[in-house]
């Protein structure tokens, strides 16, 4: 399958699922725009992908996705270099053992997994619409199914910090955003879907214990296996026009009951727009 002429942006593209996704799309001859936080790691991954695929159309743009100012600079830089964007994959993720606050004052899981895709995607909507048919892919997690949104405590300040609870809340927020965005983009030629990549051994676990990291290496999926659904949603003609779905193992599945709550999705959108100072 060829992606010749398609421009694909992938966040968190220097390692794990993001890097594996970038490599395969590069093999399909797409122009890949890698969004990375660290210059040295980003350049190393960029060089590897070019050498492994023979595709020289691999670009690297730097961005700290927990910073709204950085995201705005990234979009400005991208728009100065490119006229089109056919695929946006919001892939970047973190898992932190201790509560951490972003430069803008928000809990870091919520900042990276929800506010970053919310702001980045909204700022890129004009170019995505102009490039239609185009696709937005949000890498979520089955962890959203155990989560509940508390609009009085979106920053997880009122309860003892629990990594998996807070992680799940941020991924539920991403699901609500996905479905609300699909409703707002109806008729534009821009589709938006979410996915669960499976339980994958990635750099997300670098903050965990040595035992947990070792367990992951043995029992979790490889990044290459974890990237398969992202690649499918980015490239397959089978999903052309399909929007507002949650995919697992390349198949549409039901997400949690709460993720379909339209009133919650609208309320979260309004709060997120205020948090990111997005004018809509």
Q: Give pLDDT, residue 62.
A: 98
Structural domain of 82: 7-275
Provide CB contacts within 8 A for 104, sequence distance 6+: 66, 67, 68, 111, 115, 275
Give the Cα-Cα-Cα angle 130, 134, 140 (nearest 5 degrees).
130
For 130-186, the pLDDT digits (tens) are 999 999 999 999 999 999 999 999 999 988 899 999 999 999 999 999 999 999 999
Look at residue 119 and tell me if it is in a domain: yes
- Give the pair of three-digit tokens for residue 39: 């210059």
Q: Tell the residue number behind the tokens 């809340």, with chain if given.
A: 169
Q: Give pLDDT, residue 217.
A: 45
Q: Is the separation of the CB atoms in 103 and 25 below 8 Å?
A: no
Cα distance between residue 148 and residue 259, in whole Å: 9
Mean per-residue pLDDT, 79-104: 96
Higher-scoring residue by pLDDT: 128, 1: 128
Look at residue 142 and tell me if it is in a domain: yes
Q: Give pLDDT, residue 51.
A: 98
Q: Give pLDDT, residue 204.
A: 56
> Which residues are tagged catalytic?
167
Number of domains in the chain: 1
Look at residue 2 and tell me if it is in a domain: no
- Give the pair of three-digit tokens for residue 264: 């919650």
- Whether the CA torsion 261, 94, 191, 196 is positive or negative: it is negative
Q: Give pLDDT, residue 201.
A: 56
For 55-77, the pLDDT digits (tens) are 999 999 999 999 999 999 999 99
Query: Does residue 202 carry a pLDDT above 60?
Result: no
Q: Give pLDDT, residue 59.
A: 98
Query: Does residue 216 carry a pLDDT above 60?
Result: no
Q: How many CA atoms lie within 13 A of 238 on its CB side?
A: 9
Look at residue 1 and tell me if it is in a domain: no
Look at residue 45 and tell me if it is in a domain: yes
The chain-wide mean pLDDT, for the chain, equals: 93
Mean per-residue pLDDT, 188-194: 98
Query: Does residue 208 carry a pLDDT above 50?
Result: no
CATH number (domain holding residue 166):
3.40.50.720
Query: Does residue 124 carry a pLDDT above 60?
Result: yes
Provide CB contacts within 8 A for 120, sequence distance 6+: 11, 65, 71, 74, 75, 88, 90
Over the chain, what HEC string results? CCCCCCEEEEECCCCHHHHHHHHHHHHCCCEEEEEECCHHHHHHHHHHHHHHHCCCCEEEEECCCCCHHHHHHHHHHHHHHCCCCCEEEECCCCCCCCCCECCCCCEHHHHHHHHHHHHHHHHHHHHHHHCCCEEEEEECCHHHHHCCCCCCCCCCCCCCCCHHHHHHHHHHHHHHHHHHHHHHCCCCCEEEEEEECCCECCHHHHHCCHHHHHHHHHHCECHHHHCHHHHHHHHCHHHCCCCCCEEECCEEECCCHHHHCHHHHHHHHHHHHHHCCCCC
Look at residue 112 and tell me if it is in a domain: yes
For 96-116, the pLDDT digits (tens) are 989 999 999 999 999 999 999
Q: Is the separation of the CB atoms in 137 and 124 below 8 Å?
A: no
13-17, 111-115, 160-164, 226-230: least confident range: 160-164
Give me the percent of the chain exceeding a pLDDT of 70: 92
């Amino acid at each position: 399958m060829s992606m010749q002429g398609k421009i694909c942006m992938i966040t968190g593209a220097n390692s794990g699922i993001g890097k594996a996704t970038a490599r395969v799309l590069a093999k399909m001859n797409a122009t890949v725009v890698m969004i990375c936080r660290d210059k040295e790691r980003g350049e190393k991954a960029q060089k590897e992908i070019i050498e492994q695929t023979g595709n020289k159309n691999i670009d690297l743009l730097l961005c700290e996705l927990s910073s709204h100012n950085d995201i705005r600079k990234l979009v400005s830089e991208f728009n100065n270099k490119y006229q089109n964007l056919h695929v946006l994959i919001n892939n970047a993720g973190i898992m932190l053992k201790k509560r951490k606050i972003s430069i803008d004052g928000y809990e870091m899981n919520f900042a990276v997994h929800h506010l970053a895709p919310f702001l980045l995607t909204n700022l890129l909507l004009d170019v995505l619409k102009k490039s239609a048919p185009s696709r937005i892919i949000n890498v979520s997690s089955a962890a959203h199914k155990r989560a509940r949104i508390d609009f009085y405590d979106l920053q997880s300040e009122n309860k003892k910090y629990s990594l998996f609870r807070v992680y799940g809340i941020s991924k539920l927020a991403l699901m609500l955003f996905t479905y609300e965005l699909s409703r707002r983009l109806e008729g534009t030629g821009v589709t938006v879907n979410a996915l669960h990549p499976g339980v994958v051994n990635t750099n997300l676990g670098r903050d965990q214990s040595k035992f947990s990291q070792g367990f992951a290496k043995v029992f979790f999926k490889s990044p290459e296996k974890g990237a398969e659904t992202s690649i499918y949603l980015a490239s397959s003609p089978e999903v052309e026009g399909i929007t507002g779905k949650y995919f697992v193992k390349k198949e549409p599945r039901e997400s949690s009951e709460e993720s379909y709550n339209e009133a919650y999705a609208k309320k979260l959108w309004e709060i997120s727009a205020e948090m990111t100072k997005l004018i809509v």
